[in-house]
Chains A and B, each alone.
Chain A
């Protein structure tokens, strides 16, 4: 049937759009190997792998990396607990304030990050809370909850309530049902949610600049290098690291949840 074949124009524009989304990233990789460190000259005058060694030896990269890992780990853990609890509550019967709660959960990512950041900054200011790792974690956990929640609630919707009742009928108490029935069924969805939350937190910069004070996470370090560049290819090496640290969890989350209607990643 003629009408069932995409027109040439559609094929060209769709492919062009996808290329537009993907090609720019490749230059990050190319520029990590250039011998030119003062400008973004293209094509690179020469290629070298020395910047990886230089980046490894740069002492100012390691503390931000540790801080980012630490923040992402704690924020993910908190988001997993809070997100799962919220999903479990929303999955049970309707209750008063249910719609308001679901709005409250998505609000931190529905509003622009600058508002979340500025709000937390105002609160810290009014309450005289000094900036610390925990002020960063506070912000990150807040917008990570919805990621875990989305994944958990989609999986729970697919689970039949019957298996929980069967478990209770067979004499299991609530904790046993949770441990042996619910957790194995939710496992991969929670893992996917956790990985997406980790990727989001590890990479976050907008809220973080408001909640970090003088501290520097890896994205903040990168932002400073972008505004005031020095040894530009080193920034590219770090960019590759950040890219990998977000790319791998996303791909893993996709493979953990694919095939269902609840494939991870819809809505960030």
Chain B
């Protein structure tokens, strides 16, 4: 036999194939370069621009951005009014996260443990569709519901529970003419919008809790409550923390919801938006945008220590 063991190359495509075969690194770098360039230049470049911008300052008289290094802009974050914004946002994010965890648990638990076959699919779609469907449309739906002349007032009048809403709106610091202009409304809509982000990782974590452990717990005489506190919750905790990363981070940065529903008190996102837009103070806006990054870095470090990334 004198025929060569390999077929002769028939054209450029074949020759390139042999080249890729002989040099896998070359092929890999061809694959990786376009996305790496895009994300590296466009995204990381922009993040760098954000950092750079936050070290600039604005000339108070002319309103022109002075492009020289200063920490003055960061110092402004510590003014009482700006510190207020940061604290209000973090408190809101924490409250929303807790409420989401509370509401998400029964849904996630039911879907993970009892839903079978078509019900499983129904539960999955039931959580996924609200997660993906239009954000603005969902916010708008709540504006309709919470408005003074809207559905909620009508339902409260019909059931004679108007005093509940009035009671909420009378709480000092949370006043408003209706829930759509009260911080309670902002909170409620935040919870509604981010709830699916909590359910999915929680469900994934709960599905990994073996049924045998629950049976063992019951066999050993534990009540439902004891099984929940000592078996289910510790095992599901990484999922809860994974979900809380989303709810916390998304609330920290959101600026549409407080703009449409609530008493127009300022949150970090809204402040960034207003500073770069109408106020034209891009450096301070950039410094404000760095705050959620720092908070999330701390949060992620803590979450990683709690093993939340295995649940993602």
Given contacts A13-B106, A31-B144, A173-B13, contact A246 B134 (CB under 8 A): yes
Q: How many angstroms between the C-alpha atoms of A110 and B292 in the bound complex?
A: 12
Q: Is A77 part of the contact surface with B, judged by Cβ < 8 Å?
A: no
B46 lies within 8 A of A123 (CB): yes
B124 lies within 8 A of A17 (CB): no
Residues of A within 8 A of B114 (CB): 6, 10
Residues of B within 8 A of A31 (CB): 144
Of the candidates A127, A171, A254, the one whose C-beta lies within 8 Å of that of B7 is A171
Q: Smallest CB-CB separation from A34: which chain B residue?
A: B144
Q: Is A180 part of the contact surface with B, judged by Cβ < 8 Å?
A: no
A24 lies within 8 A of B7 (CB): no
Q: Is B44 part of the contact surface with A, judged by Cβ < 8 Å?
A: yes
Shortest C-beta distance, B250 to chain A (Å), equals 6
B39 lies within 8 A of A268 (CB): no
Given contacts A118-B286, A205-B256, contact A265 B144 (CB under 8 A): no
Q: Is B64 part of the contact surface with A, judged by Cβ < 8 Å?
A: no
B149 lies within 8 A of A119 (CB): no
Q: Is A125 part of the contact surface with B, judged by Cβ < 8 Å?
A: yes
Residues of A within 8 A of B183 (CB): none
B137 lies within 8 A of A28 (CB): yes
A254 lies within 8 A of B128 (CB): yes
Q: How many angstroms between the C-alpha atoms of A236 and B249 in the bound complex?
A: 29
B-contact 0/1 string along A119-160, CB 8 Å cutoff: 111110111000000000010011001000000000000000
Q: Is A92 part of the contact surface with B, judged by Cβ < 8 Å?
A: yes
B-contact 0/1 string along A83-122, CB 8 Å cutoff: 1011011001101000001001101101111111011111
From 6 to 53 in chain A, residues with beta carbon under 8 angstroms from any chain B beta carbon are: 6-7, 10-11, 13-14, 17-18, 20-22, 24-25, 27-28, 31, 39-43
**Interface SS of A by simple majority:** helix
Residues of B within 8 A of A193 (CB): none
Q: Smallest CB-CB separation from A202: which chain B residue?
A: B134
**Interface SS of B by simple majority:** helix
From 99 to 154 in chain B, residues with beta carbon under 8 angstroms from any chain A beta carbon are: 103-104, 106-107, 109-111, 113-114, 121, 123-145, 147, 149-151, 153-154
Of the candidates A41, A111, A138, A250, the one whose C-beta lies within 8 Å of that of B42 is A138
B215 lies within 8 A of A3 (CB): yes
Q: Is A263 part of the contact surface with B, judged by Cβ < 8 Å?
A: yes
Q: Smallest CB-CB separation from B25: which chain A residue?
A: A95
Interface size class of B (residues with CB under 8 A): 35 or more
Q: Is B76 part of the contact surface with A, judged by Cβ < 8 Å?
A: no
Given contacts A13-B106, A199-B132, A243-B133, contact A263 B124 (CB under 8 A): yes
A25 lies within 8 A of B137 (CB): yes
Residues of A within 8 A of B134 (CB): 203, 219, 239, 242-243, 245-246
Q: Tally chain A residues at the interface, Cβ within 8 Å.
A: 93
Of the candidates A43, A86, A250, the one whose C-beta lies within 8 Å of that of B35 is A86
13 contacts between A and B (CB under 8 A): A21-B127, A24-B138, A27-B145, A101-B36, A114-B292, A121-B276, A122-B46, A122-B50, A168-B17, A171-B7, A239-B134, A239-B136, A242-B136
Interface residues of B (CB under 8 A from A): 7, 13-14, 16-17, 20, 24, 28, 31-32, 34-36, 38-40, 42-47, 49-50, 52-53, 65, 103-104, 106-107, 109-111, 113-114, 121, 123-145, 147, 149-151, 153-154, 192, 195-197, 200, 214-215, 218, 224, 249-250, 252-256, 259-260, 268-269, 272-273, 276, 282, 285-286, 289, 292-293, 296, 312
User: Which 9 pairs, one residue from A and one from B, show the smallest C-beta to C-beta distance?
Assistant: A112-B253, A119-B46, A14-B110, A13-B106, A123-B49, A173-B17, A40-B147, A86-B35, A89-B31
